[in-house]
Structure 1
Amino acid sequence: MLKLALLLCFIYFNGIAQGGNFNVMENGAKADGKTDDAKAFEATWKAACESSGPATILIPKGTYLLGAVKFHGPCKAVPRITIKMDGYLKADTNLNKFPSGDWVTFAWTNGLTVSGTGTFDGQGAAIWHLNDCQQNEKCKLLPVNLKFVSANNTVVNGITSLNSKNFHFGVVESHKFRVTNLKIVAPGDSPNTDGMHVERCSDVTIQNVQIATGDDCISLGQGLSNVLISSITCGPGHGISIGSLGKYPGEKDVTGLIIRDSTITGTMNGVRIKSWANSPSPSAVSNVTFENIVLKEVSNPIIIDQLYCPSGRCANQVPSLVKISDVSFKNIRGTYLSDVAVTLHCSLGFPCQGLKFQDINLQYRGGRAAAASSCMNVKAVYSGTQVPGPCVA
């Protein structure tokens, strides 16, 4: 009986520990850059996800052509799944291969790590001419390179995202999400290629990321709390933005954001908060800090814009219902190119309150004399160095 009990215990614990390595090449991937390897990738994920122990998915060096790939949980693997990504993944340029609208999607996972030296190449240059969303309200959104949905306790480290057709990274409805040591690259004129878009998330950390793209390096949407962004190298692109906010009914508040220790070079904007002028329902932005940021040859260094309407076709320019309060700008320094260094255009309905400016030193590099600042509906406190001088409402 004792021997039988020991045998049963061995079998039980061995089963619980089952996991190990799962190689995409062993599940039919060709890595020839011509054959669609999506089914092989999904088969490898399925095997790892259904294992009862920690699992590692191996994507070795090689060139893999992929249509849409779904890595969906929940998974049995405990405590986590690690994807070791050292290959070069190329997105198909045939949009019919992306029926769900995204390229690589991770959804309903807990304890996921994606790391390695590999590259996700969206091959967007062949598709960017189809991006007409600024002119066409019924446009079809192009695929996002990597989409994370309800991906809790996630780590993304070391990989490169190249020439996405749309956003490089989309992170939504996720808790405890950490990003480090990434490279995100697209030309400065590539449309809508935001480096990272994050919304409806909590406890997010984005650190040591190099971003060169055609839109916002990082855009932070509605429903965010406890977000730290640091050591970002941004440019070209449109800078780092909170928003746009207030476009849709029922948007959640944004609170507890820190953006610090970063360099922004040659971008359209520096640090920005933007909300739609005709927002359909109230929301709020509060407890936000921009600190220790170097701006180099940036057109518009500091912006709060509550009259945001990129298409120019916003009917009934009613005041924004997004309330902005307790926002600090500390040790922001560098050079700028536009006529105005600091633009604070807040809502008539909800004036900006509790704004703090400490040690601002922005030197003009334009071709003619520059206006200092422009503001409306603002209550702010200034301390330390103020170049240009404080804004007068």
Structure 2
Amino acid sequence: MASKSSAIMALILFSSLIISCKAAIIENALTTTFNVLSFGAKPGTQHDSNMAFIRAWNAACNFNGKARLLIPEGLYTISETIFQGPCKGPAPITVLLQGTLQAVSDPSAYPDKGWISFDTINGLIFTGGGTIDGRGQSVWKYNDCKTNPNCVHMPASIYITKVTNAKIKYINLVNSMGFHMHITQSHLVRLHSLTITSPVDSPNTDGMHISKSNTVKVSRSLIKTGDDCVSIGQGSTNVTINKITCGPGHGISVGSLGKLPEEMDVQGLIVKNCTLLGTTNGIRIKTFAASGPSRASGMLFKDIVMYNVKNPIIIDQNYGSNSAQPSLVKISDVVYQNIRGTSISPVAVNLMCSSKVPCENVHLKNINLQYTGNDEKASSTCANVHVGYFGLQSPPPCLLGASA
């Protein structure tokens, strides 16, 4: 009887597999592929193939049926390339990157904000297991942002603007000139299974910067950079960061906020199930002093593990300035829950809020952060913050400016 049931189950599984394979064959049969090689792309380092890529994209985007842009195995050198929509065919359009894209090393080849841009597209799948190499080591020496507050940022390797219903997965990004990815003015974007790497001393190479976007989900990715692994800029709402391994880098940051006049609010951020390894900050909220008024609220940081992190939990509302004018970015409704690990600095929890608009409704629940130094125990500091404590608290709650 058991053998008969097993045979039936095997037959059902086999039938399901056949159905899935048939569905994939039908899907492929209904999708027209536009190979960049057919439009003049040439593998190698001596030829700029960006016009061939643009021609292939335009053909795919203007096709009335389901379309796929194929970048096959091989190394392709391209300068600034913009994949512009809207597209005519049924969404989504797929970009299948199987090879390696290499940037032209001349900074003047990138007059805009991105090296590879996706602009005004409704329905995009970007996948394929390929690699995007920004060759940032050839231009990082021109980055003066540490000393020049009005510096011009290097282009992002991937710049996504006005894109809706997008999935970006199984892509490797290395050595960006500026941000590895910048997502702005976009809606319903999901990113997962990404590997993002650059040296620890590479300047402004955020793994991912999100701004002015709604409903963005980042998950199951490894990010090792010279700056923030993920940074959340103005106008970001309903952003979820889940199962990210971060480090080296500057941690996961909200901000910097308040640098520009009339910035949009940040609201609805969840960061959970993340691991931070040797980062200079853990979970950070940073705003400029003397900023204009805006808000950052509704943020949950939960189930996070930190190993040898310098500033595990930090709010810095005097970031990048010694100005006597306080920040006017109002921070409220922030929860830190189930955060554990080790700090290489004695101050493991540092909540320094604005004297003009103090932080409100901040909660710390089950915090266990141990100092790795001498016999000194980890401590907390805080100012201008109304904070509640629940459960385990290591380091102990700070008293200055706090209310339990």
Q: Same fold (TM over 0.5)?
A: yes
- Indicate whether 1:109 and 2:121 are aligned: yes
Asked whether the 8 Å contact 2:370–2:378 carries over to 1, the reply is no
> What is the distance in 2 between the residues matched to 1:143 and 1:151?
18
1:52-72 deviation line (CA, Å, top 9, x unaligned): 121101111000001110101
**Structure-to-structure mapping, 1:71-110, within 5 angstroms:** 71-110=83-122
Per the alignment, in what secondary structure is the counterpart of residue 238 of structure 1?
Answer: coil
1:163-213 deviation line (CA, Å, top 9, x unaligned): 001100000000001001000000111111000000000011000010000
Residues 1:137 and 1:325: Cα distance change in structure 2 (over 3 Å): closer
Cα offset for 1:133? 1.4
Q: Partner residue of 1:163?
A: 175
Q: Partner residue of 1:369?
A: 376
Cα offset for 1:18? 8.4
1:304-342 deviation line (CA, Å, top 9, x unaligned): 111111xx4x5x421111111110000000000012000
- Indicate whether 1:388 and 2:395 are aligned: yes
> What is the distance in 1 between the residues matched to 2:127 and 2:245?
20
Cα offset for 1:368? 5.9
User: Which of 296, 299, 312 is residue 310 of structure 2 equivalent to?
Assistant: 299
Per the alignment, in what secondary structure is the counterpart of residue 373 of structure 2?
Answer: coil
**Structure-to-structure mapping, 1:337-348, within 5 angstroms:** 337-348=344-355
Q: Partner residue of 2:326?
A: 319
Asked whether the 8 Å contact 1:22–1:47 carries over to 2, the reply is yes
User: Which of 51, 67, 86 is residue 79 of structure 2 equivalent to?
Assistant: 67
1:6-59 deviation line (CA, Å, top 9, x unaligned): xxxxxxxxxxx9861100011001112321110110000000110112110111
> What is the distance in 1 between the residues matched to 2:277 and 2:309?
6
> What is the distance in 2 between the residues matched to 1:242 and 1:81?
32
> What is the distance in 2 between the residues matched to 1:324 and 1:389?
22
> What is the distance in 2 between the residues matched to 1:79 and 1:335?
46
Q: Which amino acid aligns with 2:112?
A: S
TM-score, length-normalised on structure 2? 0.90
Cα offset for 1:370? 4.6
Per the alignment, in what secondary structure is the counterpart of residue 193 of structure 2?
Answer: strand
1:368-388 deviation line (CA, Å, top 9, x unaligned): 625511100111111111001
Asked whether the 8 Å contact 1:274–1:305 carries over to 2, the reply is yes
Q: Partner residue of 2:250?
A: 238
Query: What's the Cα RMSD here?
Result: 1.3
- Indicate whether 1:220 and 2:227 are aligned: no
1:259-290 deviation line (CA, Å, top 9, x unaligned): 000100000000011111110x2111111000
Cα offset for 1:137? 3.6
Please list every run of 5 or more consecutive structure 2 residues that lacks an aligned counterpart in the other structure.
Answer: 1-28
- Indicate whether 1:254 and 2:266 are aligned: yes
Q: Partner residue of 1:139?
A: 151
> What is the distance in 2 between the residues matched to 1:136 and 1:202?
31
Per the alignment, in what secondary structure is the counterpart of residue 386 of structure 1?
Answer: strand
Q: Partner residue of 1:283?
A: 294
Q: Partner residue of 2:187?
A: 175
Asked whether the 8 Å contact 2:346–2:377 carries over to 1, the reply is yes
Per the alignment, in what secondary structure is the counterpart of residue 369 of structure 1?
Answer: coil
Q: Partner residue of 1:5?
A: none
Residues 1:222 and 1:18: Cα distance change in structure 2 (over 3 Å): same
> What is the distance in 2 between the residues matched to 1:137 and 1:380?
33
**Structure-to-structure mapping, 1:10-89, within 5 angstroms:** 20-89=32-101
Q: Which amino acid aligns with 1:238?
A: H
**Structure-to-structure mapping, 1:116-131, within 5 angstroms:** 116-131=128-143
> What is the distance in 2 between the residues matched to 1:18 and 1:108?
24
Asked whether the 8 Å contact 1:170–1:196 carries over to 2, the reply is yes
Q: Partner residue of 2:19?
A: none
TM-score, length-normalised on structure 1? 0.92
Please list every run of 5 or more consecutive structure 1 residues that lacks an aligned counterpart in the other structure.
Answer: 1-16
Q: Partner residue of 1:10?
A: none
Asked whether the 8 Å contact 2:91–2:124 carries over to 1, the reply is no
Asked whether the 8 Å contact 1:121–1:161 carries over to 2, the reply is yes
Per the alignment, in what secondary structure is the counterpart of residue 39 of structure 1?
Answer: helix
Asked whether the 8 Å contact 1:83–1:115 carries over to 2, the reply is yes
Q: Partner residue of 1:6?
A: none
> What is the distance in 2 between the residues matched to 1:117 and 1:385?
43
